[in-house]
Chains A and B, each alone.
Chain A
Amino acid sequence: MIEVKNITKDFGKMKAVDNVSFSVEKGEILGFLGPNGAGKSTTMRMITGFIPPTAGTAVIGGYDITEDSISARKKMGYLPENAPVYPDMTVHGYLDFCAQIRGYGPADRKRKIHETIERCFLTRVEYQNISTLSKGYRQRVCFAQSILHDPEYLIFDEPTDGLDPNQKHEVRLMIREMSEKKAILLSTHILDEVESVCTRAVIIANGCIVADDTPDNLKTRSSVHGAVCIAVATADEQALISVLRELDCVKQAEVLEKDEKQIHVRIYPKELKIPIADRIMIALREKDFKIESLFVEQGRLDEVFRKITL
């Protein structure tokens, strides 16, 4: 388990991270969210022992990072922001160096490097100089470094930054695959990533935690959560809206978009617990409106994110 306990960092008078606590269990993928400059990287740097906290600490697999730093770091894999690598080395040479640092003997090293290179799809560039690789490959090389020793605890600072959509997908798949036996903490500001990868999300703003919940629960905080969006084939806006407003379960109906053939409307329910889609369909069909599409909004993370971090 990764346990972050009341960790605080001051840079001069500025509080970069203020009394942040959370924990990540094995099997969990925790998304660490926040606007730029919220203190995500600083927090991760303290957890990995790169910078000492002003107060508080992090305990990784039972080892305190401020007291038994080396033992704690042995259990961790870390992908720093911007994926630093040595450009003058080959991919193989770089991973060999990392494997030596992780204490593997020559035979194990060969096997480990081979495994990792296959897993990260780096076979094609194994003996190429890192300076000749694209940003996406470099990112993967650094990613390979962090999982090389098969650590129980993984910390990724913006793991998909700078990757194209296909590469992003691959990295997310890899992360999800590994998550069963590991505790993973990843920071990102891509909200899709949180929805598709993370089991839990912690949002920080100005160095403080402002939300700690599952992505689904977070979405319920969105103002559009539970609202029904429909597209109706009609030009008569007045008639349509009056039908919808007459329903007692509807709080409000707003027109999102309209043209000669079609009107898009979003309908907010009075009470979240009572589904309204069914009743809207019946009411509209009675009046001979033709529904072309209908869906229930789950809520939007980006809206929630803005609401709680601004």
Chain B
Amino acid sequence: MRIQDSIANIKAIFKRELFSYFGSPVAYVFIIIFLLLLGFFTFNIGMFFESNQADFRGFFDWHPWVYIFLIPAVAMRLWAEDRRLGTIELLLTFPITVADAILGKFLAAWCFLGICLMLTFPLVFTVMYLGNPDLGVAFCAYVGSFLLAGAFLSVGIMTSSATRSQVISFILSVVLCLFLILSGYPPVLDSLYGWAPAWLVNLVSQLSFLTHFQSITRGVLDARDILYYASVMVFFLFVTGVIIQNRRTS
């Protein structure tokens, strides 16, 4: 009975949030910018045609860098807006749990990102027209990109829950996401080598969004990578819950 109630609640919040994306210009602006940016990176900077290869590497490699600015923008309003409008008081005095509210919002935003991702389908057809790509790899890469989007989003929803200012939420989550992307890169690890214990350096390098993303885009859908993204999302959503429980008034 409890679970059924929860599902109904999550569904109601999910519908409201998704509707509110499409009820405002945000969704359309976002979709257009998202597609334009990805197209620009893939064709103009990534030299998609010049590389003469019918695969999707040149397309998916850009996803993390587009996500890093656009996903915090999608996520920043999720809680900050409720705090600003005061509707958070309404939401948290409804007979629903904080987890219901967080999941409803998160899934709505994730679904919205999924829709954006699906709208890149012309590229798949282009590649299919030009050559004979491995569609299995493409599918894997889409799944990987969707998971990556979810991980970014969970960071964004956490920073959004901590502040009523969407700008602060945006900046915090860009910085956090940047750290999570770059943590696998040598310069970041180098800065740790001198003083941090080896296990910490190892941990930080394993935290990188990028290393896990790259293996998926190569067509290897490893359970460990999926588990990694799932645990990142669970972790940040859990932190979101803790923040909301503790910062109800201000």
Contact in complex: A85, B87 (CB < 8 Å):
yes
A51 to B88, CA, bound (A): 11
**Complex interface: chain B residues within 8 A of A52 (CB):** 248
Answer yes or no: A50 CB below 8 A from chain B CBs.
yes
Contact in complex: A80, B89 (CB < 8 Å):
yes
Please, how many residues of chain A have a CB less than 8 angstroms from a CB on the other chain? Answer: 30
A85 to B20, CA, bound (A): 13
Answer yes or no: A84 CB below 8 A from chain B CBs.
yes
Answer yes or no: A49 CB below 8 A from chain B CBs.
yes
**Complex interface: chain A residues within 8 A of B9 (CB):** 101
Shortest beta-carbon distance from B15 to chain A in Å: 8
Of residues 1 through 50 on chain B, the ones whose CB sits less than 8 Å from some CB of chain A are 5, 8-9, 11-13, 15-16, 19-20, 23-24
Answer yes or no: A160 CB below 8 A from chain B CBs.
no
Interface size class of B (residues with CB under 8 A): 20 to 34
Residue of A with least CB distance to B93: A48
A102 to B12, CA, bound (A): 10
Known: A45-B89, A73-B94. A103 touches B24 (CB 8 A): no
A51 to B97, CA, bound (A): 14
Most chain B beta-carbon contacts within 10 A, residue among A50, A80, A101: A101
**Complex interface: chain B residues within 8 A of A70 (CB):** 95-97
Answer yes or no: B131 CB below 8 A from chain A CBs.
no
Q: 5 nearest interchain CB pairs?
A: A84-B86, A100-B12, A73-B95, A74-B95, A80-B89
B interface, CB within 8 angstroms of A: 5, 8-9, 11-13, 15-16, 19-20, 23-24, 85-90, 92-97, 248-249
15 more A-B residue pairs beyond the given contacts A50-B93, A101-B9, with a C-beta to C-beta distance below 8 A: A45-B89, A51-B249, A70-B95, A80-B86, A82-B86, A84-B87, A86-B87, A88-B23, A88-B24, A97-B15, A97-B16, A101-B13, A101-B96, A102-B94, A103-B95
